[in-house]
Structure 1
Amino acid sequence: MDTGQDTYAFLSPDPSIQRGSLAAHVTDQLRTAIMTSRLEPGTMLNKSEICTRLGVSRAPVAEAFARLQAEGFVDILPQRGTTVTFLSVRDVEELVFIRKGLECHAVWLLAQRATPDLLDALDENIAAQRDTANKDERDRFHDLDSAFHDMLISSLSFRRIRAMVESVRNNLSRARQMTNTPQRIAMGIDEHADMVDALRARDGNRAAWVMAQHLEGIITEVARLSRERPELFNDDITIHDSGTIRRALSS
């Protein structure tokens, strides 16, 4: 999938960035564009155009590509160039499996540890989510959704778990952004509210169950996406509504 100049309209130079921070700045801008699907799976990245847009040399862009490759967001193909990685249904199931293992146990623990201040902050976040959903501000909703889950993990003060969840969430972000219909957003907000109700009731089992259903919704929506836009996926696997993975039969 080739790109034109308009593909990089979201990039802009920042004169305040110090030379030693250029690669991190380029990485952040490209990662955000990939996570929010401004750069879709399969997009060939034009290094020269990115350099021009950001007003930087090729070195920080090359370093940014290497960092993004390590994070799983791009593929660097010798003699061919760098492309945004395709989605993989196998990866989606694996990432959801990891998140369930970490976040379901996290809310189970929180049912006995959640403070009134945390519960109030979660309520405020949910109210803001409903407001953004009513205004169809999807980028803002995505930020609030991530903040909600981050508050749950951060409140346990498990630094390594927080880093692991953030990494997995980032890799799932593209699929979530592309499947966040108004109906799914509304359902997700209701699930967040149910989680907080369970935490307030000190019902850890209920909180964990709601979290599991919430995360499994990602698989359901990716199932739909894999059928509607198979060109975004790099394997011959589809996730079916039952949540199972099956290999597509060749004709």
Structure 2
Amino acid sequence: MRQVFSSPRLENVEAVAELLRAEGIEVRISGDRSYRGKRRSSFSYRERDKSDPQPAVWIVNSEDQPRGRQLLRDAGLIESSRGESSYLPLPVLDGGGARTVEAGKRARMRMRLVLLGLIGIVAVLIAFALPDKPATPPAIAAAPAARPAPVIVPQATDDPQVFRIDVPTALARLLIETELLKHAPAQACIAIDDRDPPADFVSSLRHDARTALFAASACPDGNAYDINVHDYMTDGSGTGSVQLMLDVEDARTVDVERNGTDWRVLRVR
């Protein structure tokens, strides 16, 4: 179980929990008892007991965590560096997406103007604080003005966590059909995550008409060609790697990328 969102306002936490539940993700809310009497008009950040934990949303199943985090990123609830936000954006709470975007632009512009004003004030104060220098004879050639050192803005770094989830059906179909059409074996035994795939999945695979397909548990003895797609690892960003076992002895790692409902192979190692 992993925490994906927290906020001093219980309404925000409950709204995020409902968003995830609507996508079929099992969640739990912690730290909500001490906040139930402080909704809306009576809520105060100053009056909150700092020893009380903030309400938070937790995803129960680990296989749902990448999808849940991706949903929150798409909704603008967590940053691209996967740091967790403490507040719900207005588009989620009241549907004012356009107003929120414009308000954000105006806020950023005001912040830039304030920073420029502060820089100008500091420059003026420094100029008045410096003592007057005695006049110096004119130089033959004026020295070039020194360039100011570039301002380096520190960037937050947060390595994404990688999770193992079930191999997506569309990805398994792409890899299995590629091998069936490439090798066209007389018999092929199919497995996904070391288990038998559904019967309708096997029957719908594109393959050579001379190839007989079997689930792995029903594989006949002999020279059947084994294909097993398993252990899909991803950080929820739409890219990841999956293991492809071919005929037991040929193991490969395939780097893949998702674009909507379509998949493509980036590299085979």
Q: For the superposition of Structure 1 and Structure 2, which TM-score range results when normalised by the shorter chain?
A: under 0.3
Task: Name which structure has the greater RCO, CA cutoff 8 Å, separation 6+.
Answer: 1
Whichever structure has more strand as a proportion of its residues is: 2
After TM superposition, the score normalised by the length of structure 2 is 0.21
After TM superposition, the score normalised by the length of structure 1 is 0.22
Q: Rg: which structure is higher?
A: 2
